[in-house]
């Protein structure tokens, strides 16, 4: 194991970037991207929790969907982190930094019925969607059209996953609630 401890860039700093995005603008966008990155990782972990714990007659479909939704969140996080690094920032990465930067609160460690879990997920998705929309506008207003385009792509997938959860929460189902006599 290497004992080298040379810090190449301190967390929270913004370096000059080769994409010619002005430092002041880059700082604002990096802050926004780190907020979205932290929220997305929070969502990822909550979706994984629900993927692991889902039970019942609709187990298979929900298990697969939640796994795919978590993968979508992981891919979004990777895109966010790579973009903010490209414009001179340092992505939030440690669990403590993610928790501090995240504007969304994760569900606690307990296991809940799937309707409660999905409702909690949908609430988190809604908060993240609002943040992404705000940050698309911010990036556009600051002239960072590439970041705005990346955020738009993430927003489309995030909205699609939220829409699927909304459908799972509808009351039309083939599964009966309660015991049958």
Q: What is the pLDDT of residues 79-131, one digit of tens each?
A: 999 999 999 999 999 999 999 999 999 999 999 999 999 999 999 999 999 99
Distance CA 131, CA 155 (A): 10
Higher pLDDT, 81 or 58: 81
CATH topology (fold) of 23-168: Ferritin (1.20.1260)
Contact 102, 94 (CB under 8 A): no
What is the pTM for the complete model shown?
0.90
pLDDT for residue 4: 72
Distance CA 64, CA 143 (A): 39
**For the chain, which residues make up each domain, given as ranges?**
23-168
pLDDT above 50: residue 164:
yes
């Amino acid at each position: 194991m290497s004992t080298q401890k040379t810090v190449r860039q301190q967390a929270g700093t913004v370096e000059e970037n080769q994409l010619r995005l002005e430092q002041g603008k880059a700082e604002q966008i990096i802050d926004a991207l780190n907020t979205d990155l932290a929220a997305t990782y929070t969502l990822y972990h909550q979706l994984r929790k629900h993927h692991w714990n889902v039970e019942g007659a609709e187990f298979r479909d929900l298990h697969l969907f939640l796994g795919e939704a978590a993968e979508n969140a992981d891919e979004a996080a990777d895109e966010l982190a790579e973009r903010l690094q490209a414009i001179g920032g340092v992505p939030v990465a440690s669990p403590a930094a993610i928790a501090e930067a995240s504007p969304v609160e994760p569900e606690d460690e307990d296991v809940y019925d799937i309707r409660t879990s999905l409702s909690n997920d949908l609430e988190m998705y809604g908060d993240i969607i609002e943040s992404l929309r705000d940050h698309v506008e911010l990036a556009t207003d600051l002239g960072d059209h590439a970041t705005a385009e990346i955020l738009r792509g993430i927003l489309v997938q995030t909205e699609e996953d939220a829409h699927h959860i909304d459908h799972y929460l509808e009351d039309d189902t083939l599964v009966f609630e309660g015991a049958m006599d």
